[in-house]
Each structure stands twice: as C-alpha cells, then as structure tokens.
Amino acid sequence: MKRLFDVVCAGLALLFLLPALLVIALVVRVESRGAALYWSKRVGRRGVIFLMPKFRSMRTDTPVVATHLLGDPGRYLTRVGKFLRRTSLDELPQLLSVLKGDMSLVGPRPALFNQDDLNAMRAACGVDQLRPGITGWAQVNGRDELPIPDKVALDLAYLQRQSFWFDLKILFITVLRVLTAHGVSH
C-alpha cells in the first residue's frame, strides 16, 4: 500500500507542479552556469547507491560533501539557491526518484555516498533496509540541526513505528515545517 500511495501522490504532484518546476529550472539556469538539476550520489535501500535529483542551489565548483561540512556554505549558495533551500523547493525533483522506486515520500533522508559514519550507524541498527524518503521522522524533528546519533535514533524510531498513519502524520508536519522554514540552517 505504501508504494502505491507513493506512486500516486508523486505522479499527481509532478503533474500539478510541472509549470512551477519548469519555471524553477529556467531561473536556476539563467542565474548561474550549469545544469538546473544536480544529481547527487546517495545511499539507498540496502546500501545501494543511486542518483538523486535536486534543483541546483550551489555553484558548480562546490566540493561534494555534506553542506554542514563546508566551512562557509553561504559562500557556495547561489541567490536563487538560498531561496530554494529555505522553501525546500530544491527537493521537488526527488518526486522522480519516488516514481522510479529509489525513494519513498517518507523514510530516512538518503545519506551522501561519503557519509560513512551515518551510513554505518544506520546499517548497524537495520535502518538501511528502509527506502529513503523525501521527508522523514528525523527531518521533522530537527533537520539540519541534529547530530548524527540523534538522526539515527529518530530513523530507528521510524523503523519501529512505521505505518500508513504515521507516514501521513510526518507528511502533515513536513508541510508545516516547510511553510515556516523550521530547522533550515543553510
């Protein structure tokens, strides 16, 4: 049922948001050199690497590390990128990954391929068996502010509590968090 819900919601959202997606892509391209989409190598279910699309919010010369590891992330953000991140609009292309089956609407956020500490902790407690999500329990409980052990603890809590109704609750909280830019540090 979860996969069917994901496919139907992602498909309808992409159809409904298509004009906005095209405008965002155009604005990203006009503002700075490079492609509108950035394809990030992420760790998916069972440790399988996949390419996750995001609207490009940073310059093309940005090092490939987690944003919080950059000395001054703001130095790399484009003007439109700052807005896209604050509003989470940079995440919308991930609906394509949901349709493809690499992601779910709700699950642990997919880690970068080089976040060895996070990936090892998730594997140790079985969280790596979940399909990663556009949003998740850790996302709505701290997002960028959480230390890795706390993220993994929340991911594990999601694994233990997962249900259709819990997913709906997380989606509802996500909408509230996005509207208030709660937990966005860069």
For 83-108, what is each residue's pLDDT tens digit? 998 888 999 999 999 999 999 999 99
Q: How far apart are CA 108 and CA 130, in angstroms?
A: 7
Task: For residue 67, give the nearest of 160, 167, 143, 158 by alpha carbon.
Answer: 143
pLDDT of residue 181: 66
Span 156-167, mean pLDDT?
96
Span 133-161, mean pLDDT?
92
pLDDT of residue 159: 97
Instruction: Say if residue 61's pLDDT is above 80.
Output: no
pLDDT of residue 167: 97
Query: CA geometry: angle at 147 spanning 49 and 152, to 5°?
Result: 50
> Could you give phi then psi for residue 115, rounded to 5 degrees?
-90, 70
pLDDT of residue 182: 59
Instruction: Say if residue 71's pLDDT is above 90.
Output: no
pLDDT of residue 183: 53
pTM score, two decimals?
A: 0.87
Using CA atoms, how far residue 43 sits from 51, 95, 100, 120, in Å, is 9, 17, 15, 11
Sheet containing strand 49-55, strands side by side = 49-55, 37-43, 111-112
Span 22-35, mean pLDDT?
93
What is the overall mean pLDDT for the chain? 90
pLDDT of residue 74: 74
Say how many C-beta atoms besides its own lie within 10 A of residue 38's C-beta: 21
pLDDT of residue 143: 72
Say how many C-beta atoms besides its own lie within 10 A of residue 4's C-beta: 8
